[in-house]
């Protein structure tokens, strides 16, 4: 949180703080807000897109997860996690 005080627009910090809120604190609302802030700064930030997709899948918002992962792959086509996870998410919506 202190890092955000120094640079409130750091995509890496927003993404990492979102992951902390998601994985450690189980505060999905805070995590979503942080991911959205990160993507407002850089809509193609692949780590944020992947983390937000994971959060979306966790709450069974599979179509949103799919959309986020497709955006990640548009930015970085060879991203292995995004490609693998997209297949898993698409299997859930089939």
User: What does the pLDDT look like over 2-37, one tens digit per residue?
Assistant: 777 788 889 999 999 999 999 999 999 999 999 999
**Which DSSP state fits 25?**
S
Handedness of CA 61, 65, 66, 67 (dihedral sign): positive
pLDDT at 15: 96
CB 72 within 8 A of CB 49: yes
Distance from C-alpha of 64 to C-alpha of 54, rounded to nearest angstrom:
10
| Cα distances (Å, whole numbers) of residue 14 to 10, 41, 68, 78 | 6, 10, 17, 24
Q: What is the mean pLDDT of residues 53-61?
A: 97
pTM over 0.75: yes
């Amino acid at each position: 949180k202190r890092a955000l005080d120094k640079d409130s627009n750091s995509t890496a910090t927003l993404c990492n703080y979102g992951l902390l809120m998601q994985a450690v604190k189980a505060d999905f609302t805070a995590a979503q807000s942080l991911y959205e802030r990160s993507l407002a700064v850089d809509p193609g930030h692949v780590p944020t897109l992947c983390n937000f997709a994971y959060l979306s899948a966790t709450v069974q918002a599979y179509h949103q997860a799919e959309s986020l992962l497709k955006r990640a792959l548009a930015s970085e086509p060879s991203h292995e996690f995004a490609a693998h996870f997209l297949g898993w998410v698409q299997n859930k919506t089939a």
